[in-house]
Amino acid sequence: DFTGGIEQRFEFKSNLSLTHLNENDLFDFIKSCIDYGSLIACSINADKRKIESVLPNGLVIGHTYSITNYYILPIKYDNNLSDRNLIRLRNPWGNDIEWNGKWSDADPIWNLFDEKTRKRLSIQRKHDGEFWMSFKDFYKEFDVMEVCHISPDTYDEFGLTIQDSKHHWRMWYALGSWRAGENSGGSCATLGCRHGCYYWRNPQFIIELTLNRTFNSNRLCMMIIALMQKPITNNSNEQYIQIRLFRIKPNVKICEKKIYKPDEVERIASTGPYVNRREVSLLLKTTTGAYLIVPSMADVDQNCDFLLRIFSQDTTIGRTFVNIFANDNHEDQIHQNLDQQHSIPEQTPSKL
C-alpha cells in the first residue's frame, strides 16, 4: 500500500511452478529484481509456538529478512574456474544473530580471497545483522519470498523517479470494470471453452510486445501482469479473481472492437486457481508478439471495478486495445479512460 507497487509471493516448497520459474531461474529473477529496485523479503515458516526461535545455523524462524544484494563470485579450483551465486540478507534486528554457515562473516573461506574482494563485498565481522550465504543454502533454508516491484513513477529519497535510474520497469495500466448483464462472464474450467459459456464476455485487453533495438529478436523478455480489484462498496467482500494470458495466433488480424474467440488464441499462462485476494499477479518470460489478457471473476454477473497493470523489461509495449462486451456507452467510456491514463512515457532503453 505504501509503495503502490506490484506484490508477488513465492513459496519455494509448494507453488514455485505456478510462477513459470524453476530453481535455476530464481537466482536470475532475484538479480533482476535488485537491479530494478524491487523490494525483497523472505522468511522461514514456523508455527505460533516457535515464532522467532533461533536455529543452530543462526537463522530465526517466523522472522522477516530483507534481501539487499547479490554477487556472482568466481572461484578457481584445481585450475577450473566456476561461479558461486551469493545472496546478501539482513536481519532487521541489526545484532549478532546472523547466519553462521558457509559464506557467513566468520567463515574461514573468505581468507582465500584478496582484500579487494572482501572489501567489495563488505566482509567484516560486525554484529550488524547483515550476512552473505550461497543461493543454494538460501533456497534450502527459506520457505517464502515476497517481492514488491516498484512503479517507475515512484520517487526515491533524492527526489528522482525510479525511471531516472539505469534499470527500470516499463509500465502500462488501465482501469476497467465488470458489470452484471454486460461483461461479467465468470469462469470456465474447460481449456478450449467451446461449449457456449459466458467466459468470453469478460473484458479483453490486447497488447503487442516488441523488443528494444538493443536486443536480439530471439531474446525472452520478462513480463508481470497484475490484477487488483476494487469492490463497489466498502462492505463488499473480495471476489475470486484470475488472469489468463493468451497468445493471438499469427493468422488472426489484430484490431479494435473485436471479441476474440477460443480458436483465435492459444492459452499460455494464468495466475492459477481463482482466489479471493485483492490482487493477483503473473510472472513469465515470453517472446515478442500480440497477446490477449482476460481478467475474470469466478462468478457470473457480479459488479466490481479493477486495475490492470503490466510491467515489462527490455520491451516496448506497442499498440494496446481494450475490447469489452457491453453496451456502446459503457465501451466508449472505457476507451476514453484508457486513452487518458494508459502509460508512463518511454525512457531510454537500458540493458541488464
Instruction: Write down how long the chain is.
Output: 352
CA distance 224 to 5: 11
Residue labelled with grid coordinates 578457481: 76
CA distance 148 to 33: 9
- How do beta strands 144-149 and 221-230 pair? unpaired
Task: Give Dmax over CA atoms of the chain in angstroms.
Answer: 73
Ordered domains of the chain (ranges, CATH): 6-149 (3.90.70.10), 170-341 (2.60.120.380)
| Beta pairing partners, 76 | 81
Check residue 155 and give left, alpha or beta (phi > 0: left; psi -120 to 50: alpha).
beta
Of 15, 69, 91, 100, which residue is the catalytic one? 91
- Dihedral sign (CA 60, 66, 69, 71): positive
Mean pLDDT by 10 residues, the chain (352 residues): 78 67 82 89 89 93 95 79 90 91 92 89 84 95 92 51 56 88 84 66 86 56 88 78 94 82 90 91 85 93 92 66 49 36 32 26
Residue 99 confidence (pLDDT): 96
| Beta pairing partners, 214 | none
C-beta of residue 171 within 8 angstroms of C-beta of residue 296 = no
Q: Which amino acid is at 33?
A: C
SS3 letters across 77-136? ECCEEEEEEEEEEECCCCCCCCCCCCCCCCCHHHHHCCHHHHHHCCCCCCCCCEEEEEHH
Residue 49 confidence (pLDDT): 80
Residue 346 confidence (pLDDT): 31
Residue 71 confidence (pLDDT): 94
- How do beta strands 130-134 and 289-297 pair? unpaired
Is 63 tagged catalytic? yes
Using CA atoms of 313, 319, 322, 328 in order, give the dihedral in degrees to the nearest 10.
160
CA distance 118 to 101: 17
Of 20, 22, 24, 63, which residue is the catalytic one? 63
Q: Which amino acid is at 161?
A: T
- How do beta strands 65-77 and 39-43 pair? antiparallel
Is 91 tagged catalytic? yes
Residue 103 confidence (pLDDT): 95
Which positions ≥6 away from 284 have C-beta within 8 Å? 19, 20, 222, 223, 245, 268, 269
